[in-house]
Structure 1
């Protein structure tokens, strides 16, 4: 890539060394608040909002042509946001291709030749089945089984992948982590409306509790009262995840009014917060198991 001082655009990631050589910017300016350093030798104007996709484009400036953007990074490029702006950019490379390690870039190696992909930004972009495979099998990023199922649910919900195609794609593979990938596919359900909701469902399911999803509640006249994210209808126990947005505006009042109407029909609620789910998921499971026992004894 070449630059001239006349047409150089700082709104896109650029190689600092190239920009200096072309006279578009000085080394001193690069170190100033005018620019944000994305990776070693890669910058963007500080006024530009840093997103994960922007950092993917930045990483593409450094990566060799045979590098494949994959996993959650490829999902972001395809329009499904699963991770934050500064989460690692995920690449897969053939074992024979050299690439200097960079902070903020996660690299997996493959001996199976080029991963299923298409050209993108001078490198390659993983196909939807391939990025899903890499999400489900990558244990080096320390993502739990419930978390990767949540990611898969989001991909299914967005229509990026579907269960039969992905099941066929996984068939016969022997990649590290393939057993977990197949288990995650069995647990997937696109009816979950958020990643945390998926995680909560999976924590309960692997513990043997198996809640139902999106359960409608009607009153004695058959009128619709509300829908429950997760529920155990036989025990009339609802389990709901309240993320940060549930504390915004009039949402707390709306939530309470809805739950009050459902409680009047004999239901009980267990409300799980972000702190609960990510701080002590096993304690959450134990509290729901105890609530089910109480409802059974009542």
Structure 2
């Protein structure tokens, strides 16, 4: 029975520099050419057990090994590392480099060149990454506007960025590209938004002229007792709009939602619920339903 090659623990799952591993005697170049290892980048390998073609973290780990001095992971890749995944399938790793620094092109790499003060760099999860403030500032200046707000809301929601600090940060960089959009992002950002799709739904309604909208509104009954919290609300009209994600389909959550919805109706609230399909594929229908509900309540007050 053939023996199974022993894999050094240090090389079992994470990407590594092949030349360094060979120098340390952990593997040979002949071994690295075998099927046990995947070559990710020039001189960067990963064991077959750790290889996942669509694993963005694996590609961040790999590219971090070959980042030139002064470079850092940035943009949506930084947002991913800070805890929010807004990446498309097989998205390249976004890297920020000073203008004078060069890096070999690769399909899994997207390079942006910009000034990068030391205060805008940090380490997170062992990787060089732009600080939350710099990440929010960069993504907030990238069109389209709605996706810029989604990204900033995500960092605000995770409490790694606060809106006043972000506004102060922007003031100190008033001449940077993209500032007109960034000022709009600051005006539209909502720290209480609980998901990217909730932000998209809120922006859809605001763009239709249905504001102002209160996010995460606590509903009380006539005796001042807490009934429930709604995603988006027009409190004076007692109209609420909610985004239903996949978690609402779980049996236990579904039962809780039914009881909560009945309590809101008993308190005199009209609640409309929408899915991602409603927001992304049928925005006109979604706007019409909300507009109709608000009109109905306004007419009922007279």
Q: Would you call these one fold, judging by a TM-score over 0.5? A: yes
**Does the 8 A contact of 2:93 with 2:110 survive in 1?**
yes
* Map of 1:156 onto structure 2: 156
Give the one of 270, 273, 287 matched to 2:272. Answer: 270
In structure 2, relative to structure 1, the CA distance for the partners of 1:169 and 1:262 (3 Å cut) is: same
The 5 Å alignment of 1:42-61 reads: 42-48=44-50, 51-61=55-65
Tell me the TM-score normalized by structure 1: 0.82
Give the one of 244, 251, 254 matched to 1:252. Answer: 254
In structure 2, relative to structure 1, the CA distance for the partners of 1:284 and 1:40 (3 Å cut) is: farther
Q: Partners in 2 of 1:37 and 1:248 — Cα distance?
A: 40
Q: CA deviation at 1:17?
A: 6.6
Give the one of 98, 103, 106 matched to 2:107. Answer: 103
Tell me the TM-score normalized by structure 2: 0.81
Q: Partners in 2 of 1:208 and 1:15 — Cα distance?
A: 54
**Does the 8 A contact of 1:242 with 1:273 survive in 2?**
yes
* Map of 2:140 onto structure 1: 136
* Map of 1:202 onto structure 2: 203
In structure 2, relative to structure 1, the CA distance for the partners of 1:149 and 1:37 (3 Å cut) is: farther
Q: Partners in 1 of 2:134 and 2:146 — Cα distance?
A: 20
Instruction: Determine if the alignment matches structure 1 residue 23 to structure 2 residue 28.
Output: yes
Q: For 1:101, what is the secondary structure of its paired residue? A: coil
Gaps of 5+ in 2: 1-6
Gaps of 5+ in 1: none
Q: Partners in 1 of 2:117 and 2:64 — Cα distance?
A: 16
* Map of 1:75 onto structure 2: 79
Q: For 1:26, what is the secondary structure of its paired residue? A: helix
Q: Partners in 2 of 1:83 and 1:25 — Cα distance?
A: 39
Number of aligned residues? 285
Q: For 2:161, what is the secondary structure of its paired residue? A: coil
Q: CA deviation at 1:20?
A: 6.9
Could you tell which deviates more after superposition, 245-254 or 285-294?
A: 285-294
Cα RMSD, aligned residues only = 3.0
